[in-house]
């Protein structure tokens, strides 16, 4: 997962989570890919942490920075802070108190948070952190939980009577829907596939094009481990599916 200089043929892989490293006077947001970690943004506290208004505004700025990224479909978030500090816990308390919809919703657009002790301030520290078994375990757990919510929503809508709901399992039908469909502002759209489906595809460029255009058109895309419970259920559907649900 460590970041390296881009070379010909180098790929970051797909995005799996966000990492937020809290420090005394700032927070650093990182995008975690399967093969790399990319710096996204640094946010300053803007005053003393003992000032509750300053701390509130700081935490809100972190949520605001996460919000557009969450809309892209990756909703697993690992928060860290150095030993003997409560910065990460303070942020999670803020989310629970002021943004409970992010963690309490049973809809697939909920976010999954996990906490880890350590510094995610500098690239070398992040590189070491993402190598640890604890971090990898957290990522596996949060991404699996996130995928479970999406698959559960799919199964719910498979048996619901809703004229606006669409469920597709054919790659060609999904491509036609994503490339040619009319925009529906009242629908939330999801595309999920397993890593095995992608790896076994005879035309990976075709899949990557679908993923990129889906992302550009605000379709929430997820690639899941085929060995997880959610991945096994997706495999039963053929390894890929697309579905829509009403936006509430």
Instruction: Convert the pLDDT of each residue in 21-58 to its tens digit.
Output: 999 999 999 988 877 889 999 999 999 999 999 999 99
Residues 114 and 140 in one domain: yes
Residues 221 and 186 in one domain: yes
Number of domains in the chain: 2
Going by C-alpha positions, the residue among 112, 110, 107, 130 that lies closest to residue 120 is: 130
Phi, psi of 44 (to 5 degrees): -90, 150
The DSSP letter of residue 221 is E
Residues 231 and 115 in one domain: no
- pLDDT of 154 reads 76
Residues 103 and 131 in one domain: yes
Instruction: Convert the pLDDT of each residue in 153-204 to its tens digit.
Output: 777 767 665 556 788 899 999 999 898 766 566 678 889 999 899 989 988 8
Q: Which residue, 144, 179, 202, sits at the end of a domain?
A: 144
189 domain-assigned: yes
Summary mean pLDDT of the chain: 83
pLDDT at 10 over 50: no
Residues 133 and 223 in one domain: no
Residues 51 and 96 in one domain: yes
Q: How do beta strands 76-81 and 37-44 pair?
A: unpaired
- pLDDT of 240 reads 94
Q: Domain limits at 209?
A: 160-246
154 domain-assigned: no
62 domain-assigned: yes
Higher-pLDDT residue of 78, 225: 78
- pLDDT of 172 reads 93
Q: How do beta strands 187-194 and 240-246 pair?
A: antiparallel
Given a contact cutoff of 8 angstroms between Cβ atoms, the answer to whether 130 and 37 are in contact is yes
- E strands, 53-172, in order: 76-81, 112-117, 167-168
- pLDDT of 8 reads 43
Phi, psi of 94 (to 5 degrees): -65, -45
One DSSP character per residue, 5-38 reads ---TT-----EEEEEEEE-SSEEEEEEEESS-EE
As a dihedral over the C-alpha atoms of residue 55, residue 58, residue 60, residue 63, rounded to 10 degrees, the angle is -130
The CATH number given to whatever domain includes residue 221 is 3.30.1330.30
Given a contact cutoff of 8 angstroms between Cβ atoms, the answer to whether 139 and 17 are in contact is yes
Average pLDDT over residues 62-77: 82
153 domain-assigned: no
The DSSP letter of residue 159 is T
pLDDT at 131 over 50: yes
197 domain-assigned: yes
Instruction: Convert the pLDDT of each residue in 214-236 to its tens digit.
Output: 888 888 888 888 888 888 888 98
As a dihedral over the C-alpha atoms of residue 149, residue 153, residue 155, residue 159, rounded to 10 degrees, the angle is 160
Q: Which residue, 144, 175, 203, sits at the end of a domain?
A: 144
169 domain-assigned: yes
6 domain-assigned: no
The CATH number given to whatever domain includes residue 48 is 3.30.420.60
pLDDT at 108 over 60: no
Residues 189 and 87 in one domain: no
Residues 173 and 97 in one domain: no
Q: pTM of this prediction?
A: 0.64
Residues 187 and 118 in one domain: no
Residues 34 and 138 in one domain: yes
- pLDDT of 6 reads 44
Q: Which residue, 95, 115, 144, sits at the end of a domain?
A: 144
Whole-number Å distance between alpha carbons of 4 and 24: 28
Whole-number Å distance between alpha carbons of 77 and 58: 17
Measure Cα distances from 72 to 68, 78, 163, 214 in Å: 7, 17, 25, 10
Residues 131 and 166 in one domain: no
Residues 114 and 220 in one domain: no
Q: Partners of 31 in the beta sheet?
A: 18, 38
């Amino acid at each position: 997962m460590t970041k390296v200089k881009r070379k010909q043929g180098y790929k970051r892989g797909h995005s799996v989570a966000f990492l937020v490293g809290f420090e005394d006077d700032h927070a650093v947001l990182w995008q975690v890919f399967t093969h790399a970690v990319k710096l996204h943004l640094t946010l300053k506290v803007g005053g003393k942490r003992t000032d509750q208004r300053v701390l509130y505004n700081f935490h809100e700025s972190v949520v605001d920075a996460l919000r557009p990224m969450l809309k892209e479909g990756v909703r697993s978030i690992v928060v860290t802070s150095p030993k003997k500090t409560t910065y990460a816990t303070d942020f999670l308390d803020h989310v629970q108190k002021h943004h409970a919809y992010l963690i309490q919703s049973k809809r697939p657009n909920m976010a999954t948070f996990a906490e880890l002790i350590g510094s995610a301030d500098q690239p070398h520290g992040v590189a070491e952190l993402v190598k640890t078994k604890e971090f990898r375990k957290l990522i596996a757990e949060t991404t699996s939980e996130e995928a479970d919510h999406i698959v559960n929503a799919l199964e719910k809508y498979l048996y619901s009577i809703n004229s606006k709901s669409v469920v597709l399992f054919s790659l060609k039908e999904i491509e036609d829907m994503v490339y040619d469909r009319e925009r529906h502002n009242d629908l939330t759209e999801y595309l999920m596939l397993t890593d095995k489906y992608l790896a076994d595809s005879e035309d990976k460029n075709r899949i990557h094009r679908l993923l990129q255009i889906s992302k550009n058109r605000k379709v929430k895309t997820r690639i899941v481990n085929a060995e997880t419970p959610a991945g096994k259920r997706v495999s039963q559907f053929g390894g890929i599916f697309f579905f829509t649900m009403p936006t509430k």
